[in-house]
Amino acid sequence: MKPVAHRIAFFLLLLCITRTVSVSTAGNTESTEKELFLTAHISKKKPYAGETVELTYTLFFNGIAPQILDTGQPVHEGIAAEESTPQKLIASQPEHIGDTFYRSAVIKRMTLVPLRPGRVSITGYRVLCIIPKDLSIDSDPKTDDSLTLAAPRIDLDVIPLPEPQPAGFGGAVGTFTAEVFAYRDSIPEGSLLKLTASITGKGSFLTFPVIPLSLPEGFTGLEATTSKTVESKPGPFFGSLKKTITLKAEKPGTYTFSPLSFSAFDPERKTYATVRSNTLTLTVVPAQESMPTPPLEEIPQDRQTNPLYRLLFALPFALIAALLYLLLKKRSKSNPTPEAARSPQELRKQLFTAIELSCGFEPEKHTRSELADVLKKQEIDEDDLRKLLAVLDEFDRLEFAPGEPDKDEFENLRQECATLYAILRSRPSR
């Protein structure tokens, strides 16, 4: 998590209320005597090479919630790592360790993929805890103490993948399904078509090999894009990987694409499996030669004055006007006026939806500073950007402050959002 997010997140840590749980104190009796301590937990200590595991760092504290600043990042040689999407506010929950009452919060969550067998370690993560004297939101916290905490060392005993490996094995580890699809099953000769290969499942998408795709004769690949989507929630590592290729149909005929096929090691069943997609067939039809329209002076005079001919001549313009009307109507529907929100959460969600429709990205996946940078690159007016960031700050105050929000404050916030909706709707669609 980035330091900027930490400065805001942990100042309001105690205001997020969740259910009470209990944890075992076996082998951790020393920690019960501390007011602040940091733990590290790995989801699997003996993974296979290429298998995805999850590492979580959890802070335990009692009393006032500290502010947290990263001072040392985890060191993990021989391991591919990716931090989960940072959150602005991190929930804490009550826990009992022995006779001591604590609150705990996961302050960093990472997805790890060990790349080679043998023992590998993760070390070096440190945080600076600053204890404020009070929880006043209207003023800067006054610190009376600070403490640097070091996370415990984590060791992984990585198991090598079984031999013999299948021919052409690229390193995919997990359970996957594959699909190949196009949005049309026939296209004219010389036209373009997008073909998409999708791999979905539970496993490592952080180190997934290149998606193998072969094209039959009669098609030329012009460009390819790859996108990855991984759930940031704790638990199983579900995700998807998509590769889209723009094709040009070179000659008529019916073509069958070879199924997408690759080998993957399933760490749960401890065996290799072949993943195979569906078979895709496309038909390329001959391009029809279009007859040029003769100039108006070459059209016989009786056809120029014929009312039926005039109607036929005007018909294309009427169709164009109708299409323009439908496009404008569709655009107005894509940016609807939000319904009246009844809570700061609903109002925030509506504003995020408006930003996504107007700017083409998901704002909730960005920290405040990242969001500001992205909007600046999209040439959002500076005054409008300041208004937007001020509204987001007000969301945080109303949503996480104790008690119900004041009606007048909430109504003012609703009016500010209405102004922002109008600004966002006036931008060109992305």
State residue 328's pLDDT score: 55
Q: Is the pLDDT of residue 168 over 70?
A: yes
Would you state the structure tokens that stand for residue 329, as one six-digit string?
A: 């109507």
Among 11-15, 84-88, 176-180, 304-308, top mean pLDDT goes to 176-180
Inter-helix orientation angle 382-400/407-425, to 10°: 150
State residue 118's pLDDT score: 93
Would you state the structure tokens that stand for residue 121, as one six-digit string?
A: 């370690």
Mean pLDDT of 232-242: 69
Mean pLDDT of 198-220: 84
3-state per-residue secondary structure call for 339-388 = CCCCCHHHHHHHHHHHHHHHHCCCHHHCCHHHHHHHHHHCCCCHHHHHHH
Mean pLDDT of 133-162: 76
Q: Is the pLDDT of residue 64 over 50?
A: yes
User: 4: pLDDT confidence band, cut at 50, 70 and 90?
Assistant: very low
C-alpha–C-alpha distance, residues 37 and 31, integer Å = 7
User: 238: pLDDT confidence band, cut at 50, 70 and 90?
Assistant: confident
Mean pLDDT of 62-85: 81
| CB neighbour class for 156 (10 Å; exposed up to 12, middle 13-18, buried from 19) | buried
Mean pLDDT of 80-96: 71
**Which one, of 280, 279, 287, 281, lies nearest residue 252 by Cα?**
287
Q: Is the pLDDT of residue 65 over 50?
A: yes
Mean pLDDT of 111-121: 91
3-class DSSP assignment, residue 154: strand
Q: Report the share of the chain in percent with pLDDT over 70.
A: 70
pTM over 0.75, yes/no:
no
Helix (H) or strand (E) holding 130: strand 126-132
C-alpha of 45 from chain center: 27
pLDDT in tens, 411-420: 778 888 888 8
Would you state the structure tokens that stand for residue 55, as one six-digit string?
A: 């590492």
Q: Share the mean pLDDT of the chain.
A: 75
State residue 161's pLDDT score: 94
State residue 233's pLDDT score: 55
User: 147: pLDDT confidence band, cut at 50, 70 and 90?
Assistant: confident
State residue 214's pLDDT score: 81
Q: Is the pLDDT of residue 409 over 90?
A: no
> Using an 8 Å Cβ cutoff, are 257 and 215 in contact?
yes
Least confident of 105-119, 333-347, 377-391: 333-347
User: 187: pLDDT confidence band, cut at 50, 70 and 90?
Assistant: confident
Q: Report the share of the chain in percent with pLDDT over 90.
A: 17
Mean pLDDT of 326-352: 65
Q: How far, in Å, are 139, 185, 414 from residue 136 at the CA level?
A: 6, 63, 25
Mean pLDDT of 172-190: 89
Q: Is the pLDDT of residue 32 over 60?
A: no
